[in-house]
Amino acid sequence: MSSSVVGFPPGFFTRGALAVAQDLLGCMLVRRMPAGSGLPAGSVLTGVIAETEAYLPDDPACHAHRGRTARNAAMFLSGGHAYVYFIYGMHFCVNVVTGPEGQGEAVLLRAVRGAPVAGCVLSGTLVPSESGALTNDLIPDAQTTGPGRLCRVFGIDRALDGADLTDPAGPLYLLPRTGPPPPFSATPRIGIRKNADVPWRFVMG
């Protein structure tokens, strides 16, 4: 046990979408920006996950419910991978796969907060000011609230579909929370018609 990298406990991402959706609140999403993103290549964006939704295999609202297709193939990878899809002609959404390989369940990341996290070296986000210069200003929460906006700010698109979110050397990865579990509330999920009544959306605070 000599690794200096703080990781998730083994099996964290294969406990099912409902458990993982709650336990991801307070965890950190880390993005290494690629060249051509508007930020210098290698710029790091971070955010504390503040809102999630669970999608289960038996759930009619889940993309995997009607079987595996080219679009949702990444959802059938093992837990800890990314499932990124394009919707409404203009938005990307990013999910964390939460089942064993072949299961088809995931957690949609709906919002992150730019608040610093004590004890973590990645304490802020780099954003270009209006003049184009980089600052250490936190991104306003309004810009990272909503799955489409979150993906736009973090530069997430289909290129990250299937990415390993547990690899700290990768372009997009997760870090465990360092403090106690944050309080949260459960509400119905947003913007779906099928199985719209179940309280599988989890909001920190």
Half-sphere exposure of 95 (CA within 13 A, CB side): 29
Closest C-alpha among 78, 74, 70, 80 to residue 164? 80
Span interacting with DNA, options 36-44, 79-87, 118-126, 132-140, rule CB under 7 A = 79-87
Q: Does 19 bind DNA (CB under 7 A)?
A: no
Q: Does 150 bind DNA (CB under 7 A)?
A: yes
- For residues 89 and 87, give the distance between their C-alpha atoms in angstroms, rounded to a whole number: 5
Please count the residues of the chain: 205
Return the sign of the alpha-carbon dihedral for residues 46, 147, 13, 19.
positive
Q: Does 86 bind DNA (CB under 7 A)?
A: yes
**Cβ closer to DNA: 32 or 152?**
152
- We find the least distance from the C-beta atom of residue 1 to DNA, in angstroms, to be 34
**Cβ closer to DNA: 55 or 173?**
55
Q: Does 88 bind DNA (CB under 7 A)?
A: yes
Identify the residue among 72, 103, 125, 166 touching DNA (CB under 7 A).
72
Residues 27-66 that bind DNA (CB under 7 A): 53, 55, 61-64, 66
- We find the least distance from the C-beta atom of residue 171 to DNA, in angstroms, to be 19
3-state SS, residue 112: strand
Q: How many helices (H) and strands (E) does the chain have?
A: 2, 10
